[in-house]
Amino acid sequence: MTATSAPPQTTDEKLPPGTRLVIGLLVVSAFVVILNETIMSVALPRLTEDLGITLATAQWLTTGFLLTMAVVIPTTGFLLQRFPMRAVFITAMSLFSLGTLIAATALEFPQLLAGRIVQASGTAIMMPLLITTVLNVVPPARRGQTMGTISIVIAVAPAIGPTVSGLILSVLEWRWMFWLVLPIALAALVIGAIKVQNLTTPRKSRLDVLSLLLSTLGFGGLIFGLASIGESSSGHTPVPIWIPLVVGAVSLALFVWRQLMLQRTDSALMDLRTFRSRTFSLSVVMIVISFTALFGSLVLLPVYLQQVLALDTLTVGLMLLPGGIVMGILSPIVGRLFDRVGPRPLVIPGTIIVSAALWSLTTLGETTPIALIIGIHCLLNIGLGFTFTPLMTSGLGSLPRTLYSHGSATLSTLQQLAGAAGTAVFVTLMTTGAAAGVADGLSQVSATAAGVQTAFFVGAIISLFSVAASFFVRRPVNAVPAGAVH
């Protein structure tokens, strides 16, 4: 199928013909692949027994997934400009399906981790593909509503991942988390290959290999170093922790310098001129904070519920389901409200609610009522629901069309980096806090509860910065001219 010209954007509220089906397919496919970001969280305690590994090692199944996404996503700005949408979609879903098959047949931890990495390589491409498509074909007057739907994919899919895995693990072994997903992924691949059209026009661009190498070392080194802090408490650190952290920081600095040089000739792997938009920059910072809180809580809550309250995986999964449902219902409503009132009236109360929920999580103990935990989790998801859609829509909507693909790649990269960092840091704080509690004479259960409280306390402090920043969020000033060329 040959590429067609991107439909011009207008102020008309009607979607261009044929795009509703394409967006629908992309949303469903993205939901399936992103669900797997957190599907392993409830299974981690089970995997430590079946595979004979520590919890700090097992969390690499989530951290490694997010890390791979953070490494691959920077290339999506190039991919979406260089190749037709249909080819990019088929590549993404093929990688995800292959990774799912590898994980489903895994007998040892290295094979399972390899499957997760291949899965993540496909997942990394889907969200920038979906967001860039929406920005190019959906009129500004309807973006909030459409981005609300996308928020279901970004936030709700990871939120219900623990529920899905809890339900599966209650009756089947952990490999079925992949066997049950595989036919859905293959069906999406086949239908998408037939139905997805090329709604954007590819243009020649060059992949800068040095930028790709620096990006891999930068993001990879930082997350590897953060995750290694968690493993250090168990004495399993392949290299001194400071080495990957220093390599990551230096490489990331060089990566930024390289992009600043290359963007002068429009050949950057990740064009950083997106940060010239104050609205985009502020939105990115706040989304990073929100994703750190989201993924940190999604990892810690199942561990707390199983190891402190001694609940089974089915109960844990069902307890986390209401929060995901609440966010799923709220996201499109918030999107429509954004179209009417803009971001600030939504983001300010949203960040306050998130902060209140995180402070409430610092009170979790050995006798906390289940109903209270469900209520706090729902409160957290309500706050995040009021936050994600307005920030994402206003941030990306403030960019010129020529930077849409780079903006979505940048946002998606930092989202996953925040998620990986949140996972690693929260697990690290919990592990070190629990170790300190045991050293002070606490039982393992009491020490784990204390470690969970420590982790959420740090998250609650971080959330206060997001509350302060919310008062400076505003609706994008620039309007995209009708008929603008991508």
Q: Other CB atoms closer than 10 Å to residue 190's CB: what's the count?
A: 12
Domain ranges within the chain, ordered by starting residue: 19-197+205-470
pLDDT beyond 60 at 234? no
The whole-number pLDDT of residue 15 equals: 61
The whole-number pLDDT of residue 199 equals: 63
Average pLDDT of the residues in 205-232: 78
Distance CA 399, CA 133 (A): 14
Q: Is 86 exposed, middle or buried (0-12, 13-18, 19+ CB in 10 A)?
A: buried
Is 134:404 a contact under the CB 8 Å cutoff?
no
Q: Tokens 């009708």 correspond to what residue?
A: 482
The whole-number pLDDT of residue 232 equals: 56
What percent of the chain shows pLDDT beyond 90?
20
pLDDT, one tens digit per residue, over 302-344 is 888 888 998 887 788 788 788 878 888 888 888 888 888 889 9
pLDDT beyond 60 at 10? no
* Maximum separation of any 2 CA atoms in the chain, in Å: 69
pLDDT beyond 80 at 59? no
pLDDT beyond 80 at 56? no
Distance CA 347, CA 351 (A): 6
The whole-number pLDDT of residue 484 equals: 36
Distance CA 154, CA 127 (A): 8
Average pLDDT of the residues in 290-294: 78
The CA-atom distances, in angstroms, between 43 and each of 40, 111, 233, 242, 449 are 5, 16, 21, 30, 19
Q: Is 234 exposed, middle or buried (0-12, 13-18, 19+ CB in 10 A)?
A: middle
pLDDT beyond 70 at 3? no
DSSP annotation string for 135-167:
HHHS-GGGHHHHHHHHHIIIIIHHHHHHHHHHH
Tokens (6 digits) for 42: 């409830």
Least confidently predicted of 30-34, 235-239, 351-355, 380-384:
235-239
What lies within 8 Å, CB to CB, of 468 at 6+ separation is none
Average pLDDT of the residues in 75-103: 88
CA atoms 264, 268, 271, 272: torsion sign: negative
CA atoms 294, 295, 296, 297: torsion sign: positive
Higher pLDDT, 37 or 46: 46
SS3 273: helix
The whole-number pLDDT of residue 4 equals: 39
Instruction: Identify the CA nearest to 343 among candidates 469, 204, 191.
Output: 469
pLDDT, one tens digit per residue, over 115-131 is 999 998 998 888 788 88
Average pLDDT of the residues in 59-75: 78
Q: What is the mean pLDDT of the chain?
A: 81
pLDDT, one tens digit per residue, over 26-45 is 888 888 887 877 777 678 77
pLDDT, one tens digit per residue, over 402-429 is 788 888 888 877 877 787 677 777 888 8
Q: Which CATH architecture has domain 19-197+205-470?
A: Up-down Bundle (1.20)
Higher pLDDT, 459 or 224: 459
DSSP annotation string for 302-354:
HHHHHHTS---HHHHHHHHHHHHHHHHHHHHHHHHHHHHH-SHHHHHHHHHHH
The whole-number pLDDT of residue 5 equals: 38
Is 476:401 a contact under the CB 8 Å cutoff?
no
Instruction: Identify the CA nearest to 232 among candidates 42, 40, 435, 44.
Output: 435
Is 140:335 a contact under the CB 8 Å cutoff?
no
CA atoms 229, 233, 236, 237: torsion sign: positive
pLDDT, one tens digit per residue, over 151-162 is 777 667 776 777
pLDDT, one tens digit per residue, over 433-482 is 888 888 888 888 888 888 889 888 988 888 898 899 999 988 876 544 33
The whole-number pLDDT of residue 13 equals: 54
pLDDT beyond 80 at 113? yes
pLDDT beyond 70 at 168? yes
Higher pLDDT, 5 or 390: 390
